[in-house]
DNA sequence: GACAACCGACCGACCAGTCGGTTTGTGCGT
DNA sequence: ACGCACAAACCGACTGGTCGGTCGGTTGTC
């Protein structure tokens, strides 16, 4: 009946949309489950329950638990990096960009304890695979920071330091602050944000942390 | 937790010694296996093989895999903290003590990649239990640093900063540097040590890092 | 009738921990 | 010196519960 030629367009726009929507639904649920339990303790069946979808259905969309986890991580990291970059763009000097990125990340993590946990901790249980993913993600953050520091350096805003290392130091500091908050009931990252900013700016030799209204426009 | 059956029974000195010696042998082997594989991938049977001891024998000395892992962690952390404290004691000003502790840790970790990995990463797979342990251990390091910074502060050697936070920043920086080395073929912590020291000292507002880097091996 | 999407009972690899048993060391009575 | 008793130390085959992943089948849609 139908001409032999009409199945080279197998997926209509709407079905593609449907598809990514379902994927999104799964990712959302998976994020919650992984955040609550960590990779190993998280059960695929529970993700199914939260999605009102069977295990088979899940496996139709994602080839393995591991892939699903990585997809969740990527999605999260993308959101955060974009947020940081946007904040950086709004600032009007490289150094302030770096500060803004820092603040953006700190407040985002503070607001979502579970996400912080997921992003920073929960993956290590998977062994090497995750560790590579983690450094990939951290590298993206490090780049946002070090690029701005580089500019600040050539602008003479900061002293002549190893900006890659400085970026790493900043990241490490944030990481540790968050972890301490997560597991030892330390203060919220947001609470320590201003002290932290002071320390980190000092590390790149800005001795006088302007009350930041300095070049506000 | 506690060793099996430590009644007040007449355990002769030699048998006690024998006992702790066996424990030590197990800890050594376990350290290697955990370091190579992480907690989850590590098989109790493999520890047995490395010890030339059966699983039953192992379980005679340690009540569970988890306890064994924690014992390994404690042993390692003790060694490192002691090393740091000793290095700090040899220095002759609080600030230099903090520097020395930093150097000691960096060089110890650089020298033993697998141990670094074990201490910093490999445990997360266990969930909450480990995370508590981790913060316990990190707190010990943080204390060594923050106490010295406190003294330095009241000596007027550094500016008036939040020393607890500064200690956390230092730890975080070290942590991140090490992780980056471990998983991204970044430079050795020892290689970056002097740059790192400069940054961290600057963070506590010492603009002029004393050029006196005597290694504490 | 073709195919994407979804179902869910089932499989089977995996491995920490157990347990009945054997060996080794120690003390004691004779 | 010798055997006897008893426990510490050690053995290793086995169990039992847990899940990731599969697959033959059903539904909905074009």
Average pLDDT over residues A34-43: 92
A153-200 pLDDT per residue, tens: 999 999 999 999 999 999 999 999 999 999 888 899 999 999 999 999
Output the pLDDT for position B13. Answer: 63
Q: Residues near A130 by Cβ (< 8 Å), separated by ≥ 6?
A: A39, A69, A123, A124
- Please answer whether residues A39 and A123 qualify as being in contact, where contact means their C-beta atoms are separated by less than 8 angstroms: yes
For nucleotide D21, the protein residue with its alpha carbon nearest to C1' is A64
Q: Taking CB atoms and an 8 Å limit, are B121 and A131 in contact across chains?
A: yes
Closest nt by CA–C1' to B43: C15
Q: Residues near A45 by Cβ (< 8 Å), separated by ≥ 6?
A: A55
Chain B residue with minimum CA distance to A181: B135
**In chain A, count of helices (H) and strands (E)?**
9, 0
CA distances in angstroms from A115 to A67, A70, A122, listed in the order given: 18, 14, 10
Task: Provide CATH 1.10.10.60 ranges for chain B.
Answer: 13-66
Q: Which fold has domain B13-66?
A: Arc Repressor Mutant, subunit A (1.10.10)
Closest nt by CA–C1' to A58: C6
Q: Which CATH class is domain A13-203?
A: mainly alpha
B61 touches strand C (CB under 7 A): no
Tokens of B137: 């251990």
Average pLDDT over residues B50-73: 96
Average pLDDT over residues B50-66: 96
- Please answer whether residues B169 and A195 qualify as being in contact, where contact means their C-beta atoms are separated by less than 8 angstroms: no
Output the pLDDT for position A144. Answer: 94
Output the pLDDT for position A211. Answer: 46
Residue B1, H or E segment: none
Rounded to whole angstroms, the Cα distance separating B136 from A183 reads: 10
Q: How far does the CA of residue A191 sit from the closest CA of chain B (Å)?
A: 11
Q: What is the C-alpha radius of gyration for chain B, rounded to an integer number of angstroms?
A: 20
Rounded to whole angstroms, the Cα distance separating A111 from A165 reads: 28
- CATH code of domain B73-203: 1.10.357.10
Output the pLDDT for position A212. Answer: 47
B14 pLDDT band, cuts 50/70/90, is low
Which of A177, A195, A204 shows the shortest C-beta gap to B172? A177
B82 touches strand C (CB under 7 A): no
């Amino acid at each position: 009946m139908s001409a032999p030629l009409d199945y080279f367009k197998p997926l209509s726009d709407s079905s593609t949309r449907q598809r990514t929507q379902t994927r999104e639904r799964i990712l959302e649920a998976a994020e919650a489950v992984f955040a609550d339990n960590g990779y190993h303790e998280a059960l695929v069946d529970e993700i199914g329950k939260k999605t009102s979808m069977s295990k088979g259905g899940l496996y139709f969309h994602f080839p393995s638990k591991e892939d699903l986890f990585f997809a969740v991580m990527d999605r999260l990291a993308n959101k955060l990096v974009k947020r940081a970059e946007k904040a950086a763009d709004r600032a009007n000097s490289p150094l302030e960009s770096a500060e803004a990125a820092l603040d953006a990340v700190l407040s985002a993590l503070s607001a979502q304890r579970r996400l912080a946990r997921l992003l920073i901790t929960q993956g290590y249980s998977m062994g090497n695979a995750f560790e590579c993913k983690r450094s990939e993600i951290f590298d993206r953050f490090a780049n946002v920071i070090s690029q701005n520091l580089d500019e600040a350096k050539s602008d003479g805003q900061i002293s002549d330091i190893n900006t890659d290392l400085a970026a790493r130091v900043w990241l490490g500091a944030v990481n540790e602050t968050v972890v301490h908050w997560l597991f030892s009931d330390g203060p919220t990252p947001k609470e320590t944000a201003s002290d932290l900013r002071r320390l980190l700016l000092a590390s790149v030799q800005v001795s006088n942390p302007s009350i930041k209204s300095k070049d506000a426009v």
